[in-house]
Amino acid sequence: MSEGTAVDHAPAPVPPAPRRGLTRRTWTLVVSLLVVLALGLLGGFARVPYVALGPGPTYDTLGQVNGGDVVVIEGQETFPTAGNLTMTTVSLTDDVSLFGALGLWVSGRYALAPREEFFRPGESQEDVRNQNVKAFQDSQSSAEVAALRYLDYPLKVVAAEITEDTAADQVLEPNDRLLAVNGRQITTAEDVRPALEGTKPGDRVALTFEHEGERRTSEVTLGTAEGRDTGFLGVLPLDRADVPFDIKISLSDVGGPSAGLLFALAIVDKLTPGELNGGEPVAGTGEINEKGEVGRIGGITFKMVAAREGGATVFLVPAGNCDEAKQQTPEGLRLVKVETLDDAVRSLESLSEGGDAPTC
């Protein structure tokens, strides 16, 4: 550079002052993450007022559970069985989260139903469980009576329940055997109401019964009951088997009445020669009463799925469920329509011999 030459230097640029706080973009990301987190918590923890219904576990009534026979007959000759007579159940999942409900519904194996259809206001899961256990126990008793009635074993009528402060409460105790009411012999539970026809509250009638093996006769004064003109005795009579052997059904953690038909079939199969099902895998469902009549049940579509997945090829369907069942029948499952225990026995015998059976 020449001496005396002037050079003009520009001042150095000053860097901008850094911004304080988060940028708009950062705020957007933070808010989005918080929303996603909130939705995740809501979906994972928030409960919906629905229950999930799906295929439940199955049990072979001719087989064993936890190392013991499901149906045990003691004190009477029994015969070998083969194949399966499988009872089916429906699983009910309560306390379902929003995401859980969506996941179960999307799976296609479950359906959602309003919780109020299964739990009354103020009713807990324990309350419902107790009701289902009671219904299951009643179904066992009904199955035993229906099976032994079908096989022509004798029956007796017992006082199953006694209303407090009534005529029956004066002299009867639960499980006393009823022999005669108002001069009419009692051979079935249906005989009790006709025996009181023509009576009125305040009438005195004779009641003959058996208490702990002792025969007794007492006169009682009939009371009143709402909606009834005749005298009120205050006893719920039920048919029970009058046999010198015991039938025990051992199955825990199962509720509801719909296993009755399969229990009855298992009892019939064990007390008669031959294999009722022809040694084949048969499943089914159906509530049954003491007269052997098979009633409609719930969850038929889920029960059919469980049966087919368990290997069943024949499924016994209560006549009242046929319309629903035939709309969603799993492939490879043959539906057999039954209205009574007699229908079910005859159909299985026919199929085992290569014949036909009524279908839905």
Helix (H, G, I), strand (E, B) or coil at 276: coil
- Cα–Cα distance, 238 to 138 (Å, whole number): 11
Backbone φ and ψ of 30, nearest 5°: -65, -45
Pairing mode, if any, of strands 281-284 and 84-93?
parallel
CB 216 within 8 A of CB 119: no
- Cα–Cα distance, 317 to 315 (Å, whole number): 6
CB 276 within 8 A of CB 81: yes
CB 330 within 8 A of CB 305: yes
Question: Encoding tokens for residue 41?
Answer: 């918590």
The one-character DSSP state at 177 is E
- Neighbouring residues of 157: CB distance < 8 A, sequence distance ≥ 6: 177, 178, 186, 187, 188, 189, 191, 192, 237, 238, 239, 240
Query: Cα-atom radius of gyration of the chain, to the nearest Å?
Result: 34
- Cα–Cα distance, 56 to 68 (Å, whole number): 21
- Cα–Cα distance, 294 to 313 (Å, whole number): 21
- Cα–Cα distance, 74 to 51 (Å, whole number): 41
Pairing mode, if any, of strands 228-232 and 223-225?
antiparallel
Please list the residues that pair with 209 across neighbouring strands.
178, 216
- Cα–Cα distance, 69 to 249 (Å, whole number): 8
Please list the residues that pair with 60 across neighbouring strands.
86
Q: Give the active site residues.
A: 258, 303
